[in-house]
Structure 1
Amino acid sequence: MTPLDQTATWAETHRQPEIWRAWAEPLAEKAAELSGWITSRGIEEVWLSGAGSSSFIGQIAAAEAQTGLRLIPASTTDIVSAPKPWIARKARILSIQFGRSGDSSESVGLLDILDAHRPDIDRLNITCNPNGALATRQGPGPGESRALVLPEATHDVGFAMTSSVTTMLLSALAVLGQIDASEALPKLADAAGPILAAPMLADRPRPDRAIFLGTGAMQFVARESALKVLELTAGKTMAIWDSSLGFRHGPKAAIEDGTQVYILLHPDPHSRAYDLDLAAELKQQFPDASVTTIGPGGDIAYGGTGQACVDAVLAVLPSQVLSARWSADLGLHVDDPFQGQGLSRVVAGVTLYPLP
């Protein structure tokens, strides 16, 4: 078995700070160009699409966006399986697709639907693979196509998406005018180092159940965090997610002795108050479970930028570290926990049904 610190997943998780620093200036230049293109196209509505972790990028980016554009999270899995309401929408639309490989079945399926039914829709594909369909395929027009290809280091070799998720999110935020990449990415890189090395992450035993909670954009970071644990432990640790307020309405029943609950603290004090109230409540009601807060003033603390959709790249780091450790503790192949049985790094072979 490969030692944890020699796995691709471990390396890809821990090199995120250096990736962000190196990408800051090139991204700032590319984002300025793409932002100008979006403005010139008169875009009114932006679809933020992907599958799995790539779809959560859109949910995080849209949750608290401050832009004149209508940002609509729209998973490729949803559009491809039920496309009629989408192709009927009337607006100047930009389809932004996220994809690590750019070759998953649903990524290609959405391109097929746009080609056949909405060739007027503009496309911006943000991907980590320069050779994938998202990077190389052009639409028939009149809609225009652009691709933003991330640094090679973000094209994760491991099963789980780590640096690919965070860097695609930051790239989208820069293009959409939510951050100045040259300023934000180095600051985030400085904050990420201490989180990745946090002593609390080094000795956490693997639980049978892990729960991730958050408010606003952070609830979708919780969703990505839960998926990391579920994937890398091959389902041996069942992980769920919810919003901090929504958790009380039934899902709290999932807590049992030994459950580990992680609450991702919102950077805004008003929203964070709800997170902290829930943390105090759960500690009192479930003394045999553990409750850990992550974020400003939390058990695993960081400063961040004060924007939840941006600080998302910091809030997700603990789950990346823990899930890799727990995978190794189970004796799994961290870079391929399923060993080709049932789940694979790139989803392929899905039957796509053409829409008449």
Structure 2
Amino acid sequence: MTKDLLKWATWREIHSQPDIWRRWGATLDVSGLRAWIAALDFDEVWFCGAGTSAYIGDMIAASVKGTRSVPSTDLVADPAFILQGARPLVVSFGRSGNSSESKGTMLALDALAPDAPRLSITCNKDGALATMVSTGPAKVIVLPDATHDAGFAMTSSFSTMLLTALALFDAEADFGTRLNTLADQLENLLPIFAQGGDRPDRAVYVGAGPLAFAAREAALKAMELSAGQMPALWDSTLGFRHGPKSFVTETTAVTVFLSPQDPTHGYDTDLAEELRKQFPRSAVQTIGPGGDIDVSMPFGAAWAAPLCVAAAQVQAVQWAHSLGLNVDDPFSGQATLSRVVADVKLYPVMS
């Protein structure tokens, strides 16, 4: 089956991540960017994006104090309320940088917070995030061309934007060393992830802290690449019992992302054991330190999120392929979803 999957750009892009990370780790000027950020005047760091790009912000804000996730979809919908009295450093993520909300965020800042500094992290040097002129202090980080995924689903773009932002806002560290370590881990894990069993009827991903939002991204990959034919749910480890567990059937694949921290790790493993007892015919799998797929997380959960999500990336491609779908464009012929959401009507910003 693996040989058949090589025809899909999405499959190749998933497997290109280790090499991308290694090269990027040796290239990014982390110290220079940190110095630029340190010289700015702002009250809080906001991470903005839509869809997967918003989940990047969720993962970081769940692990780095003094930061906040503000999805661009929320900011554009009600900019006056969100920006009222705020002076944030707005960090925008965008694979193409051309989504309606990426442009709308920039316009809202121009109108309501023109002096707010901006940092754009994008995979497309020609997109709006990279080229729109800012009214305040601004900097653009353009990731390697290889991260500008050709496939519908964000894969290498997601992981590399997340790791780039962590390098700038998490505890200072040797970025190159960390990326080399993560690249080596993923290279070893990808063949293991590909050994999954038959396609289930539905999927669940859960985790805690930043890994809860990694679970959200994982569930999105399953739904996107299957064109909605694979129902998928995400939740936090402790939140899952409060109603969402009703989604689980005997033919549901459940993946629990294990935190490296205590007591969080204990709650994760307890949930997995509970689900195995209650749904003995379901496939319940743990990924993380001491898990069914043992993944060490020496830098913390947020840095390991791309490793966990990669499992879902691999699974989702396999499931989509087994459904006979065009993995690189699952909605081909439907015209319901597109790779870049760029046709949203933007309304004037009201102060």
Question: After TM superposition, is the score higher than 0.5?
Answer: yes
Indicate yes or no: 2:16 matched with 1:15: yes
Q: Secondary structure at the match of 1:64?
A: coil
Which residue, out of 184, 194, 201, partners 1:190? 184
Q: Secondary structure at the match of 1:206?
A: coil
Indicate yes or no: 2:130 matched with 1:131: no
Equivalent in the alignment of 1:82: 78
The AA in structure 2 aligned to 1:162 is T
CA 1:235–1:205 in 2, change beyond 3 Å: closer, same or farther?
same
Which residue, out of 89, 93, 97, partners 1:98? 93
Q: Secondary structure at the match of 1:320?
A: helix
| Aligned 8 A contact 2:97 2:124 in 1 | yes
Aligned counterparts of 2:290 and 2:42: Cα–Cα separation in 1: 39
Aligned length, in residue pairs: 346
Shift in Å at residue 117 of structure 1? 1.6
Equivalent in the alignment of 1:215: 208
Bigger shift: residues 306-315 or 51-60: 306-315
Which residue, out of 162, 167, 182, partners 1:169? 162
Aligned counterparts of 1:315 and 1:109: Cα–Cα separation in 2: 31
Aligned counterparts of 1:33 and 1:7: Cα–Cα separation in 2: 37
Shift in Å at residue 155 of structure 1? 0.4
| Aligned 8 A contact 2:9 2:150 in 1 | yes
Equivalent in the alignment of 1:73: 69
Q: Percent identity?
A: 48
Which residue, out of 292, 305, 319, partners 2:312? 319
Q: Secondary structure at the match of 1:126?
A: strand
CA 1:332–1:49 in 2, change beyond 3 Å: closer, same or farther?
same
Equivalent in the alignment of 2:338: 344
Aligned counterparts of 2:203 and 2:243: Cα–Cα separation in 1: 16
The AA in structure 1 aligned to 2:20 is I
Shift in Å at residue 299 of structure 1? 1.1
Deviations 1:129-155 (A, max 9, x none): 000011111212xx2110000001100
| Aligned 8 A contact 1:210 1:240 in 2 | yes
Equivalent in the alignment of 1:269: 262
Aligned counterparts of 1:34 and 1:137: Cα–Cα separation in 2: 20
Q: Secondary structure at the match of 2:203?
A: strand
The AA in structure 2 aligned to 1:12 is E
User: Normalising by structure 2, what TM-score?
Assistant: 0.96
Q: Secondary structure at the match of 2:27?
A: helix
| Aligned 8 A contact 2:64 2:170 in 1 | no
1:299-310 paired onto structure 2 within 5 Å: 299-310=292-303
Shift in Å at residue 180 of structure 1? 2.7
Aligned counterparts of 1:4 and 1:177: Cα–Cα separation in 2: 36
| Aligned 8 A contact 1:188 1:304 in 2 | no
Aligned counterparts of 2:78 and 2:41: Cα–Cα separation in 1: 27
Equivalent in the alignment of 1:228: 221
Q: Which ranges of structure 2 fall in alignment gaps of 5 or more residues?
A: none
Shift in Å at residue 211 of structure 1? 0.2
Aligned counterparts of 2:93 and 2:113: Cα–Cα separation in 1: 19
Indicate yes or no: 2:202 matched with 1:201: no
Shift in Å at residue 340 of structure 1? 4.8
Deviations 1:155-183 (A, max 9, x none): 00000000000000000011114343112
Aligned counterparts of 1:210 and 1:18: Cα–Cα separation in 2: 29
| Aligned 8 A contact 1:100 1:155 in 2 | yes
Aligned counterparts of 2:170 and 2:305: Cα–Cα separation in 1: 16
Q: Which ranges of structure 1 fall in alignment gaps of 5 or more residues?
A: none
Indicate yes or no: 2:133 matched with 1:118: no
Bigger shift: residues 166-175 or 293-302: 293-302
| Aligned 8 A contact 2:207 2:235 in 1 | yes
Equivalent in the alignment of 1:180: 174
Shift in Å at residue 214 of structure 1? 0.1
Deviations 1:271-310 (A, max 9, x none): 1110000001010011121110011111112223241111
| Aligned 8 A contact 2:62 2:210 in 1 | yes
Equivalent in the alignment of 1:24: 25
Shift in Å at residue 42 of structure 1? 2.9
Q: Secondary structure at the match of 1:3?
A: helix
CA 1:150–1:339 in 2, change beyond 3 Å: closer, same or farther?
same
Shift in Å at residue 255 of structure 1? 0.7
Deviations 1:170-222 (A, max 9, x none): 00011114343112100000110121110x63242111210000011100000
User: Normalising by structure 1, what TM-score?
Assistant: 0.95
Q: Secondary structure at the match of 2:6?
A: helix
Q: Secondary structure at the match of 1:26?
A: coil
The AA in structure 2 aligned to 1:110 is T
